[in-house]
Amino acid sequence: MFDSADLRRLLENVVGSDNVTDTDSSDDADWTGRFVGEPTLLVRPGSTVEVAEVVAVARRSGVSLVPRGGNTGLVGGSISRGRSILVSTSRLRNTGTIDPLTRQVTVGAGVTLHDIQEQAQSFGLRYPVDFGARGTATIGGTVATNAGGVNVVRYGMTRRQIVGIEAVLGSGETVSHLGGLVKDNTGYDLAGLLCGSEGTLGIVTAVRVQLVPLMPHVVTALVSCDDVATAVDVVASVCSRLDTVDAAELVTADGLALVREQIGLEIAMPNRRIHLLIECSSASEQVDVLSDILDEHQGIDVAVAVTPSQRERLWRIREEQTPSINRLGVPFKFDVTVPLPSLAPFVERIPLAVEKVRPGARTFVFGHAADGNMHVNVVGGDGDEVALTEQVLGEVVACGGSISAEHGIGTAKQPWLHMVRSTSEIDAMRSIKAALDPDGIMNPGVLLP
Ligand code: FAD
Ligand code: MLT
Ligand code: ZN
């Protein structure tokens, strides 16, 4: 901890003494426990104006800023490092009213996914970015990481939901463009640029998002089979025939066994290697349509759930993957995208590839099958961490994939950014950062080498 007496006083003058605290152990580590920061100050500004004043204090004091939403990020991006302080958005929680004509709403960066989803639902609408950390992950954090989740196949990543943004840049300038006009071709897309910038360009303080209709008829099919190629074929055939597919999630028998081991399972599952959850939502009933498509496939077992409780029991299997793995031990997490034609051989071969460099490890593969986004989580075993990362990411890049599908680069993948972005691309990103964060105070060490 650097000498912070003066800094604390300056920050307290901005946000009040109650909103400047020393971090404690719960602040200093990321959700997985793999990334641990140094003790520092945590400041909670209550408005965009206060955020701008905090940035100004940081610039004058020569300290860096690490924006912090729900701290559910999985690549070490929201952890303090060096001469940095944490800037929490937990007080930026004002929520606007939903505009019935545009179906849009503006919310503070610290509002959680769950809160936005609830507000939308009360209006018969839906905020479609969804994943297991919804209760803690904030809209600001999901914008900063351009979060994906289970509904990308139908609604896209977070970037596609944003129609307006307000942020304080590292320069101390505030940009605010929250009108929500869908057709507004008036220069560079600052919202699109800040989305996915992982706190390295500025602090998002408010976001205007587009909501979608909440569909009354939801059906979830559990499709079980013995190889990934069959699963990929099933997903491709359903997605080519229905435009109502919200999710297509894959778990393996190992992941299922781990959930059963840790929390038990409330439903009987076929004894097969691969399980898919395919969920569709629509204005009219679709159970038969989906069942008919699945009936065309050989070698699969199908169970269809329509009641909320049946569907919830199926989804628990998928949503318990991450927490169950973390209870086993601090995982090495690889969040990769593999082109669909290469997905089956990749998923089949990656556990063996890991075993070669990390003997004795347990490898769990699960994820968003329709997007080719697999989560390869490695727990335990011995061997060099760099060799493990190079092995897994090497396999991904060899088939034209991405080293980060939805979690971002953070500090975790930063040394491997060059595997998927050219020197000129990285130089262009550096130029943008130099323009918007001239003193380099925004989240140094994250994203850009
Ligand atoms: P934090 O973890 O606090 O921060 C994440 C990054 O964003 C950091 O670099 C931080 O500096 C920056 N940041 C945070 N707030 C702001 C802001 N207001 N302005 C600028 N920068 C900011 N992610 C997915 O994409 N898809 C999934 O399916 C998914 N599932 C998950 C399941 C579980 C159980 C868990 C624990 C995590 C999961 N995640 C998933 C990862 C994580 O939830 C997302 O990355 C999420 O976007 C992080 O939001 P947060 O508010 O927790 O941000
Ligand atoms: C998920 O889809 O569950 C996540 O992205 C989390 C993970 O990789 O563990
Ligand atoms: Zn995911």
Tell whether 207 and 223 lie within a shared domain.
Answer: no
* End-to-end C-alpha distance for the chain, whole angstroms: 24
429 inside domain: no
For the chain, percent of residues with pLDDT exceeding 90: 96
Do 13 and 55 sit in the same domain of this protein? yes
Identify the domain boundary among 319, 338, 362. Answer: 319
* 144 touches ligand 1 (CB under 6 Å): yes
Nearest CA to ligand 1 atom 36: 72
Model pLDDT for residues 252-286, shown as the tens digit of each residue = 999 999 999 999 887 889 999 999 999 999 999 99
Note whether residue 435 is domain-resident: no
Q: Ligand 2, closest atom to CA 150?
A: 2
CB 249 within 8 A of CB 155: no
**pLDDT in the model for residue 382:** 93
- 209 and 222 in a common domain: no
Across the chain, mean pLDDT equals: 97
Q: Are residues 184 and 110 in the same domain?
A: yes
131 CB under 6 A from ligand 2? yes
Residue 226: which CATH number?
3.30.70.2190
Please choose, from the candidates 387, 386, 388, the residue with its C-alpha nearest in 3D space to the C-alpha of residue 377.
Answer: 388
332 lines ligand 2 (CB under 6 A): no
Pair 49, 138 in one domain? no
Are 109 and 205 within one domain?
A: yes
295: in domain? yes
- The answer to whether the CB of 335 is under 6 A from ligand 2 is yes
Same domain, 61 and 115: no
- Residue 3: the pLDDT is 66
Q: Could you tell me the distance, in angstroms and rounded to a whole number, from the CA of residue 131 to the centre of ligand 3?
A: 7
State residue 342's pLDDT score. 98
Q: Is 188 in the same domain as 124?
A: yes
Q: What is the pTM of this model?
A: 0.98
Residue 159 confidence (pLDDT) above 70: yes
Residue 142 has pLDDT above 90, yes or no: yes
Q: Has residue 441 been placed in a domain?
A: no
Sign of the alpha-carbon dihedral angle for 435, 403, 411, 416: negative
Is the CB of 134 within 6 Å of ligand 2?
A: no
Count how many domains the chain has: 4
Q: What is the pLDDT of residue 57?
A: 98
* Domain containing residue 37: CATH number: 3.30.43.10
Q: What is the CATH number of the domain that holds 188?
A: 3.30.465.10
Question: Does the residue 128 lie in any domain?
Answer: yes
Q: How far apart are CA 277 and CA 318, in angstroms?
A: 8
Task: Quote the ligand 2 centre to 56 CA distance (angstroms).
Answer: 36
Residue 373's domain is classified under what CATH number? 3.30.70.2740
Is there an atom of ligand 2 within 6 Å of 334 CB?
A: no
Quote the pLDDT of residue 2.
59
The protein residue whose alpha carbon is closest to atom 2 in ligand 2 is: 367
Ligand 1 contacts CB of residue 366 (under 6 A): no
The closest residue, in CA terms, to atom 1 on ligand 1 is 71
Taking residues 76-102, what's their average pLDDT? 97
Task: Quote the pLDDT of residue 44.
Answer: 98
Give the pLDDT confidence of 392-445 residue by residue, as tens digits: 999 999 999 999 999 999 999 999 999 999 999 999 999 999 999 999 999 999
Res 375 pLDDT > 70: yes
Task: Write the DSSP string, 61-124.
Answer: HT-EEEEESSS--SSSTTS--SSEEEEE-TT---B---BTTTTEEEEETT-BHHHHHHHHHTTT
pLDDT in tens, 172-183: 999 999 999 999
User: pLDDT by residue (tens digit) across 5-47?
Assistant: 899 999 999 999 999 999 988 889 999 999 999 999 999 999 9
Judgement on whether residues 280 and 343 belong to the same structural domain of the protein: no
Q: Which two tokens stand for residue 229?
A: 């190629």
CA of residue 168 to ligand 1 center, whole Å: 19
Please tell me if the CB atom of residue 35 comes closer than 6 angstroms to any atom of ligand 1: no
> What φ, ψ does residue 244 adopt, rounded to 5°?
-110, 15
Model pLDDT for residues 287-333, shown as the tens digit of each residue: 999 999 999 999 999 999 999 999 999 999 999 999 999 999 999 99
Q: Tell me, using a 6 A CB cutoff, whether residue 51 lines ligand 1.
A: no
- Cβ atoms within 10 Å of 52's Cβ, excluding its own: 20
- Considering the domain boundaries, does residue 29 fall inside one? yes
Return the pLDDT at 297. 98
Q: Which residue has the tokens 């998927």?
A: 420
Residue 94 lies in a domain: no
Answer yes or no: do 126 and 194 share one domain. yes
Among 45, 60, 88, the domain boundary falls at: 88
Structural domain boundaries, residue 189: 104-213
Which of 186, 213, 240 represents a domain boundary (last residue)? 213
**Residue 10 counted as domain residue:** yes
Q: How far is the CA of 155 from the centre of ligand 2 (A)?
A: 18
Q: What mean pLDDT do residues 237-261 have?
A: 97
Is the domain of 180 the same as that of 267? no
- 446 Cα nearest atom in ligand 1: 9
Query: Whose Cα sits closest to atom 3 in ligand 2?
Result: 322
**pLDDT over 60 (residue 1):** no
Clarify whether residues 390 and 340 are in a common domain: yes
